[in-house]
Amino acid sequence: MKGLYAIVDTKLLAARGMDPIAYGRALVEVRPAALQVRAKDVSAREILAILRALGPMCRQLGVPLVANDRADLAALAGCDAVHIGQEDLPYELVHRIAPQLKVGISTHDLVQLEKALAFKPTYIAYGPIFDTATKSNADPSVGLEGLRQASAITRAAGVPLVAIGGITLSRIPELAPYADACAVIGDLFLPGATLADVVARARAFQAALAGDAGDGAGAAEARP
């Protein structure tokens, strides 16, 4: 896993008047490291419909489709993986429900990280690195030093590390040495942006994470 971990957050998209399926399909064209559907404010039926709509294109382009929290819906929709947090179903139960699914685990301190590594997950998400506005009651930010420590541990274990929380395009150069991928919600879809702007910004994130920001990243950073 390397690059942009793009998140389709239904709450943000509803506030911006954007269809989550159209948004997800546009992001898949950029071929991010993964595409996660994060839908905490809609029904299970709606989540399943979104996942099933995005699945064929994700499979065609080789982009892992990840469901947030819901292992049952991930399995029904044929997703590649499910992402679980510290307050979601435990790994053991997720694996029992849907053994075919890969699993990513959110962690917020080094104790949680070490515990999660014991399960040999597909990836570990760590953070928030910076303060975030897209999650209520967020854990304290760990900063770059916290990310550096987590990186040393996960790389020794051979597990990819996804940086989460407050990630912006301008901060990618300082994050890239320590994170295999960066999860982004708000800074991917800036206020007033069009879907074309989102795609351009996603490409800029991909380029920056590959160590080649170039003119594309600068142009995307300048967009409203």
What fold characterizes domain 3-222? TIM Barrel (3.20.20)
**Lowest pLDDT segment from 21-35, 164-178, 210-224:** 210-224
Domain boundaries, the chain: 3-222
3-class secondary structure, 82? strand
Predicted local distance difference test score (pLDDT) of residue 216:
38
Beta bridge partners of 107: 126
In this structure, are residues 166 and 148 in contact, taking their beta carbons and an 8 Å threshold? no
Distance CA 207, CA 82 (A): 26
Query: Which pLDDT tens digit goes with each residue over 59-79?
Result: 999 999 999 999 999 999 999
3-class secondary structure, 182? strand
In this structure, are residues 202 and 30 in contact, taking their beta carbons and an 8 Å threshold? yes
Structure tokens at 153: 């541990």
Alpha helices, DSSP H, located in 105-171: 110-117, 143-157
Average pLDDT value over all residues in the chain:
92
In this structure, are residues 78 and 62 in contact, taking their beta carbons and an 8 Å threshold? no
User: What is the reported pTM?
Assistant: 0.91
Q: Where are the beta strands (DSSP E) in 108-151?
A: 123-126
